Amino acid sequence: MWCPAYSLTIEREVDPRPYVRVRDADLVWFGRNVEASQCAAGATRALACDDPVMGTPPLLTAADVDAYRSSLSNWGRWGDDDERGCANHLRPEHTAAAAALVRRGRSVSCARTLATEPAIDNQRPVEHHMTGTVTEGYGADWFGIAPHGYATSHLDALCHIFWDGQLYGGRPADVVTAHGATKLGVHTLRDGIVARGVLLDIPAALGVDALEPGTAITVEDLEVAEARADVRVGTGDVLLVRTGRWRWREQHGPWDPREQLAGLHASCLPWLHEREIALLGSDGVSDVHPSHVVDVRLPIHTVGIVAMGLHLLDNLDLDALADACREEERAAFLLTVAPLILRGGTASPVNPIATL
């Protein structure tokens, strides 16, 4: 049962049906105004998702996530000075092989139109101001953008997330100053990512339009989607996980994604590590909200960015790509991610282009 934001109810209810999904973890909200006291420890929410295929996410604790810090760490793997992290998995031969995937020559955007109107899921709208119009005799403009959050399609730089005062590779947090990050800024990917993109369309694999907000995606789900699409995610790939977020929004209206958002459960982290992907993207923010791990709000961001050095693509729009993949009967394609070169930036708005 879908609960719109602001009227979220937490019920302890266990559905006896064998395959029903039970999200039995203590719910933890994301957001700066959320207190630990809001975590109703022991609460259980049963959702009537009687689909037999979705995996049940294993119970994970903060200690488990903490253990990933060392077991999944890539610190030092590409040298002590490395600032590219998992982007190192992408080697020129992967790029060349990805280009060879282009058949039809059809290009599709994976980005949303920049959102300039405030909404419950767009707390900091892009400001777009015209500085030349009919009255000046030419068109010109300015825009101001804070790419993070839940509205703008963007690439997270490795300086975005800290863990116990450290960034990827062990840099101290004070490399992130009010004049920009002196290490791990988004400019380190200045030459872009040109790679094989793989779309795992989870709702399509489940036969639904969109995942309900808050749905946790498991390794099992990823592998079901792989099997359905006859593709295997591998070294140097950009993995794009579609949850159907925007289709859900079309049908149900906007809600507060900080409270409920479909995404990957933390237990997917070892799988992401093993598959050696170069980049991870989603139409959400990769992390499921709530995280289903007590006291850990953003395990994918935290372990992914800090321990693994995995850049993330947040708030993509994968609906047109899903349509194109279905029409072309494929799930792998050439993908180009071209961040703006903002020295010391923590993110860049991007428009990743898939070419099939």
For residue 329, give Cα distances in angstroms to 6, 110, 230, 244, 323. Answer: 40, 18, 10, 19, 10
In the region spanning residues 166 to 185, those forming contacts with its own copies, defined by CB under 8 A, are: 173-181
3-class state of residue 300 by DSSP: helix
One residue of 157, 217, 238, 288 binding its own copies per CB under 8 A: 157
Minimum gap (Å) between residue 301 Cβ and its own copies = 9
Could you give the CA distance from residue 294 to residue 292 in angstroms, rounded to a whole number? 6
One residue of 22, 43, 72, 146 binding its own copies per CB under 8 A: 146
One residue of 28, 159, 206, 231 binding its own copies per CB under 8 A: 159
With tokens 């592998």, the residue in question is 223
Minimum gap (Å) between residue 18 Cβ and its own copies = 41
The answer to whether residues 224 and 53 touch, using CB atoms and an 8 Å cutoff, is yes
For residue 286, give Cα distances in angstroms to 150, 256, 272, 300, 316. Answer: 11, 16, 12, 7, 10
One residue of 25, 65, 87, 161 binding its own copies per CB under 8 A: 161
**Could you report how far apart the first and last alpha carbons of the chain are, in Å?**
37
Contacts with its own copies: how many residues (CB under 8 A)? 86
One residue of 22, 43, 208, 340 binding its own copies per CB under 8 A: 340
In the region spanning residues 188 to 227, those forming contacts with its own copies, defined by CB under 8 A, are: 190-194
Number of C-beta neighbours around residue 96 at 10 A: 10
In the region spanning residues 55 to 114, those forming contacts with its own copies, defined by CB under 8 A, are: 91-97, 99-100, 102-109, 111-114
Question: Which string of x and - marks every residue 106-125 that binds its own copies (by CB under 8 A)?
Answer: xxxx-xxxx-x-x----xx-
Q: Is 127 in the site for its own copies (CB under 8 A)?
A: yes
In the region spanning residues 317 to 336, those forming contacts with its own copies, defined by CB under 8 A, are: 334, 336
Tokens standing for residue 168: 């990827």
In sequence order, what are the beta bridge partners of 279? 238, 311
Minimum gap (Å) between residue 51 Cβ and its own copies = 33
The answer to whether residues 248 and 3 touch, using CB atoms and an 8 Å cutoff, is no
One residue of 17, 232, 252, 343 binding its own copies per CB under 8 A: 343
Could you give the CA distance from residue 305 to residue 158 in angstroms, rounded to a whole number? 6
For its own copies, the closer CB: 72 or 99: 99
Tokens standing for residue 78: 């590409």
Could you give the CA distance from residue 130 to residue 128 in angstroms, rounded to a whole number? 7
Minimum gap (Å) between residue 268 Cβ and its own copies = 22
For its own copies, the closer CB: 161 or 202: 161
In sequence order, what are the beta bridge partners of 130? 141
Tokens standing for residue 328: 């072309």
For its own copies, the closer CB: 267 or 286: 286
One residue of 25, 60, 145, 316 binding its own copies per CB under 8 A: 145
The answer to whether residues 71 and 270 touch, using CB atoms and an 8 Å cutoff, is yes
The answer to whether residues 349 and 148 touch, using CB atoms and an 8 Å cutoff, is no
For its own copies, the closer CB: 70 or 135: 135
Identify which range of 20-28, 53-61, 132-140, 271-279 contacts its own copies by CB under 8 A: 132-140
